[in-house]
């Protein structure tokens, strides 16, 4: 039987995280300003959808970092320059 998408599946992911089954603790994004790959730590306790601003450690331009964590604990991370963000 397939799990329903939504709150139940998010809760299921959280339970797996709390029991140590979700282990990804870092990811990377490419800075839109300079093109460098930047490795960042993941704080999975902050939820499955995260967004924050971080300055690139190479070119110092502000990037809006987007993090989405799927039901298997795999993170998708991307960035866009803050000035380009609506």
Q: Domain extents for the chain?
A: 7-84
> 50-66 as b/e, with b when 16 or more CB fall inside 10 Å?
beeeeebeeeeeebbbb
Mean per-residue pLDDT pooled into runs of 10, the chain (86 residues)? 41 62 77 94 88 95 93 88 77
Nearest-angstrom CA–CA distance, 70 and 38: 21
Q: Is the pTM of this model over 0.75?
A: no
Place of tokens 């959808």: 49
């Amino acid at each position: 039987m397939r799990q329903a998408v939504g709150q139940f599946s998010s809760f299921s992911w959280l339970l797996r995280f709390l029991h140590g089954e979700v282990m990804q603790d870092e990811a990377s994004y490419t800075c839109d300003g300079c093109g460098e790959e930047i490795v960042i730590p993941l704080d999975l306790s902050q939820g499955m959808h995260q967004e924050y601003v971080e300055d690139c450690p190479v070119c110092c331009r502000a990037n809006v970092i987007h993090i989405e964590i799927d039901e298997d604990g795999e993170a998708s991370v991307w960035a866009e320059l803050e000035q380009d963000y609506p």
